Chain A
Amino acid sequence: MENNIIEVKNLTKKFKDLTAVDNISFNVKKGEIFAFLGPNGAGKSTTIKILTTLLPPTNGEIEIDGANPVTQQDKVRHSFGIVFQDPSLDDELTAYENLEFHGVLYKVPNPIRKQRIEELLRFVELWDRRNNLVKVFSGGMKRRLEIARGLLHHPKIFFLDEPTLGLDPQTRNHIWNYISNLNKKENITVFFTTHYMEEADKVAQKVAIIDHGKIIAQGNPAELKAQTKTKTLEEAFLALTGEKIRDEDAGSQDFLRQGRRMWHR
């Protein structure tokens, strides 16, 4: 399809005998905000890593802006920006230097690079702190900086793997405002994961729910609620994925998550 910017067909990823992603298919339209939801260990981050060339798929076909992440890595890498689930800044560099580093790697030429860095640092309200080392930043500031960095090279697709993990409601709100604005202003396609269902309900135009590596439901939030006869996306999510807590291998952010889960119940 012409206006699909992400096309995934029968994607499977196996780690030895564990099938982390099990024959999933979905499409994301150009300019769409797409939420990829699922319990811990469902296979969200693994899927993102495959779409962004970090992991090779075991099986399946993928197109990212018309290119194949296995055979056309450079083309794919140019087309997206990403905020990883785990932190990925250089703590020993300043905010500005982190962006500068990114700009050089992505070959953003100089007068434009400086301008773009300033514009983005102002956008995420870190311009005044540009010369501070990242190690003195709070979690929310680091997250905002990662968002600015992911946007620096004008990507067509923005992947965000739990961008609001561990942040206070103000910062979360803030971050979703930036992202919605950006989507409206620049028509950038957004692919994100989150465990806060109300966030997905508010910003996503389309939702896919993955559980144990399989996509078990797709549609817009209203459709999913109708399908499960529930009032909120959180209820729909629980109806679809069950109430059982997942005990998949702990990821690096597990402590945070455990804490948050108890808080939530």
Chain B
Amino acid sequence: MNTIYILWLRQLKRYFRSRSRILGSLGQPLLYLVAMGFGFGPIFQKAGAGNYIQFLVPGIIAMSILFTALFSGVEIIWDKQFGFLKETLVAPVPRFEIMIGRTLGGATVSTLQGVIVLVVSTFIGFKISSLSMLSVVLLFMFLIAVLFAALGTVIASLLDDMQEFQLIMNFLVMPLFFLSGALFPLSGLPTALSAVASIDLLSYGVDGLRGSLLGISHFGLHIDLLVLTITTLILFTIGSYLFSKIKI
């Protein structure tokens, strides 16, 4: 057993032990799916855009991964406040390894969350267009998860207490979600909104999922993959740097 593994394992244990967290993080995607999916479905259909549930599911999967992953990164603030972070920081291990273990743990949990939402969606009528793409679907889920777990680490390294958490939710997470094309198609948008959507990293995640699950993609799967990989590496590097500078 090594450092990365034990930190990864800790994230998993914490997740599975908190039943309220699992239920909470499943409840929200389901609410969106049912309320929006069935609510807007008829209009979407009339506009000739096809089945809204089909369109919405990849967006909601991306959303649930975004929330869980970002939260797992931001959890560092909790560890700071409840003191456990000190225990890891005085240990004779490179902080880089701590960061990798934590991030991979958070990403694993979030990917799992995405898979659960996908499975549940099939019960309300979602159809995967090609099963052979499932490994690509998983890859995209994992990339989104690592990306936002790393972003969470960056944020947590910069903030000191949980009060600022609400601020992050309102000014970062919600815009990331609403502007990403999770809920609406990116083609034919007003220029300004379209520009914003194309700098929203979640857009590429949603697009990648939609591309691999349904075979329709706005940017193209290669672009999605490229953008997500590069930004994940960048954020991961920034995150490890900031994490290595954390002082108690």
A residues in contact (CB < 8 Å) with B:
49, 52-55, 73-75, 77-78, 82, 84, 86-93, 97, 100-102, 104-107, 110, 133, 149
Instruction: Report whether B90 and A54 are in contact in the complex, using a CB–CB cutoff of 8 Å.
Output: yes
> Is there contact, CB below 8 Å, between B88 and A105?
yes
Docked complex Cα distance between A92 and B84 (Å): 11
Are A106 and B91 in contact, with the CB atoms below 8 A?
Answer: yes
> Shortest Cβ distance from A89 into chain B, in angstroms?
7
- B58-91, CB under 8 A of A: which get 1 and which 0? 0000000000000000000000001110111111
User: In the complex, what distance in Å separates the CA atom of A97 from the CA atom of B10?
Assistant: 9
Interface residues of B (CB under 8 A from A): 1-3, 5-6, 10, 13-14, 17-18, 82-84, 86-93, 247-248
Q: Is the CB of A78 within 8 A of B92?
A: yes
A92 pairs with B92, CB closer than 8 A: no
Tell me the bound Cα distance from A73 to B248 in angstroms: 16
Docked Cα-Cα span, A106 to B1, in Å, equals: 11
A53 to B92, CA, bound (A): 10
B88 contacts which chain A residues (CB < 8 A)? 105
Cα-based distance from A128 to B94 in the complex (angstroms): 34
Supposing A49-B248, A101-B10, A106-B91 touch, asked if A87 and B17 sit within 8 A by C-beta, the answer is no
Q: How far apart are the CA atoms of A49 and B88 in the complex, in Å? A: 14
Contact of A92 with B83 in the complex, beta carbons under 8 Å? no
Min CB gap A82→B, angstroms: 6
A137–chain B nearest beta-carbon distance, Å = 14
Contacting B89 at CB < 8 Å: which of A54, A89, A92?
Answer: A54
| B14 in contact with A84 (CB, 8 Å) | no
Residue of B nearest to A84 (CB): B86
Q: Are B92 and A74 in contact (CB under 8 A)?
A: yes
Contact at A97–B83, with CB atoms within 8 Å? no
- Partner of B84 from A90, A100, A105 at Cβ < 8 Å: A90
Q: Which of B2, B10, B87, B248 is packed against the most chain A CB atoms within 10 Å? A: B87
Q: How far is the CA of A112 from the CA of B82 in the complex (A)?
A: 30
Q: Which residue of B lies closest to A159 (CB)?
A: B90
User: How far is B81's CA from A204's CA once the two chains are assembled, in angstroms?
Assistant: 32
Set of chain A residues within 8 Å of B6, measured between Cβ atoms? 100-101, 104-105
Bound complex: CA of A78 vs CA of B14, how far in Å? Answer: 27
Measured in the bound complex, the distance between the Cα atoms of B6 and A101 in whole Å is 6
B2 touches A53 (CB 8 A): no
Evaluate contact between B10 and A93: CB separation under 8 angstroms: yes
A residues less than 8 Å from B13 (CB atoms): 92-93, 97
From the candidates A54, A77, A89, name the one contacting B248 in the complex (CB within 8 A). A54
Shortest beta-carbon contacts, A-B, top 9: A77-B92, A88-B83, A105-B91, A104-B6, A74-B92, A88-B87, A86-B83, A78-B92, A92-B14
B86 to A54, Cβ gap below 8 A?
A: yes
Contacts of B87 in A (CB 8 A): 88-90, 102, 149
| Cross-chain contact of B90 among A53, A75, A89, A100 (Cβ < 8 A) | A53
Assembled-state Cα–Cα distance A149/B87 (Å) = 10
B97 to chain A, nearest CB (A): 9
**Contact: B91 with A92, CB < 8 Å?**
no
Cβ-defined contact, A52 with B90, below 8 A? yes
In the assembled complex, the Cα of A88 lies from the Cα of B206 at a distance in Å of 39
User: B residues within 8 A CB of A133?
Assistant: 17
In the assembly, what is the distance between CA of A84 and CA of B13, in Å? Answer: 24
B93 touches A89 (CB 8 A): no
Candidate in A53, A86, A90, A97 with the most chain B CB atoms within 10 angstroms: A90
Q: In angstroms, how far is the closest chain B Cβ from the Cβ of A178? A: 20
Residue with the greatest number of chain B CB neighbours at <10 A, chosen from A84, A91, A105? A105
> How many whole Å from B219's CB to the nearest CB in chain A?
39
Please pick, from A88, A102, A110, the residue contacting B86 in the complex, using a CB distance under 8 A.
A88
In contact, A92 and B17 (Cβ under 8 angstroms): yes
